[in-house]
Amino acid sequence: MENSRRSFIKTTALATFGALVLPHSLFAYSENFKFDKKVRVGFIGVGLRGQEHVKLLAKRDDVEIVAFADPSKIMLAASQKILQSNNKPAAKEFSNGDYDYRNLLKLNIDAVVIATPWEWHLTQGVEAMKAKKIVGMEVSGAIKLEDCWEFVKAYEETKVPIFMMENVCYRRDIMAVLNMVRKGMFGELVHGRGGYQHDLRAVLFNDGVTPYNSGVEFGEKGFSEAKWRTEHYVKRNGELYPTHGVGPIAMMMDINRGNRLTRLSSFSSKSVGLHQYIVEHPKGGENHPNAKVKFNQGDIVTTQIACANGETILLTHDTSLQRPYDLGFRVQGTDGLWQDFGSGGADQGHIYFEKTMNHTHKWDNSEKWIKEYDHPMWKKFESKASGAGHGGMDFFVMNTFIECIKRNIEFPMDVYDLATWYAITPLSEQSIAKGGQVVEIPDFTKGQWKSRKPIFGMTDEF
């Protein structure tokens, strides 16, 4: 049985870039999505993250940026400047309060990119689908488990597609490892790890004076993400940002496409890092009002996940303590092991293939392997991705979004992936509150995972 399984893996992998299973039509159930020569796009949320997407789409000749919706005049002005610098016409503005985006949704546009605070994702995403606008959604975790079902319900009722813009799935070294996994080099996958291990203290406390180390303010006095993100650390305790860690592993383990997440258990450490940051900061101190704030979010949250096909996944949320950036990926199978120890560079990981390396039990630097098995998508678009945010990953996210719309091809990260990955947040909160109790992860595909086929990274296009 084991030999048959390995033979199947290798045979299937060889077909990855040949006679592959074609993705379904993006608009298979509707004729509402039609455009002429350009995809007409509106932006809901043009803060610092949204502006990165504006920069990418402003460079394209096949996209027309029609409108921006954001209550911040400062962010709108910055976004208009991006259009101007790319010789593109100014976009219409909707800035009359938090709900003026609803007027943007009345426009004759094909799609919207939503890059707003997490608590707005459900409302804006569902309203956009109901308005027949294709959705590109920035990542987060759900506020409530019911929100995940609402996304699925909205899609199944409207058939309007939503694309979860998880950029780490497109990281160059990760896609090379995905390539190796699909070639059968890791054998049968057994375990994966990932997380969000990123010192965010200067993001969570930011008064906008300087880019880094810029204060101890949040909420009304905060700048950018400090206005809203820090409140989640005050009120919640869980795996707040799961998609960066689980996304790449989910693609390698064919989650929702032949496999699924079944249950999880989460634990949280004590919360001391953010308080210490405030107390020791030059603008803070023991007597600063924010030194009296109690942060509920534990500094380290670990989440164990079980899969239907027997694999396990470990996620780590670590954003409140001093540390270098490192998402901590690990991919382990019967024939191979890769571990990431940095920010995604080809030389920042270790790899081990027992048979190829003659049972040396010594790590090999992953650089030569990552370069040799570079994913065809990166080989094709390397020059276009150069200079894009997050080491080029952001280019692939937006390129996939636009190209799938133009070509009428289903998104490689769809509403079922969004619901499944987002659900980890509220479920982890439930588990922690119950002392690490195991909780079930719903099957948002309602059994379709057994027959759905993998499509992410199966071509060199998107």
| Tens-digit pLDDT string for the chain (462 aa) | 444 444 444 444 444 443 344 467 776 545 555 556 799 999 999 999 999 999 999 999 999 999 999 999 999 999 999 999 999 999 999 999 999 999 999 999 999 999 999 999 999 999 999 999 999 999 999 999 999 999 999 999 999 999 999 999 999 999 999 999 999 999 999 999 999 999 999 999 999 886 666 899 999 999 999 999 999 999 999 999 999 999 999 999 999 999 999 999 999 999 999 999 999 999 999 999 999 999 999 999 999 999 999 999 999 999 999 999 999 999 999 999 999 988 778 788 999 999 999 999 999 999 999 999 999 999 999 999 988 878 899 999 999 999 999 999 999 999 999 999 999 999 999 999 999 999 999 999 999 999 999 999 998 777
For the chain, the domains span: 39-166, 169-376+414-450
Phi-psi region of 295 (alpha: psi -120 to 50; beta: other; left: phi over 0): beta
Fold entry, domain 39-166: Rossmann fold (3.40.50)
Give pTM, 2 decimals.
0.93
pLDDT at 12: 43
CA triple 412-259-7, angle to 5 deg: 100
CATH number belonging to domain 169-376+414-450: 3.30.360.10
pLDDT at 212: 63
pLDDT at 34: 59
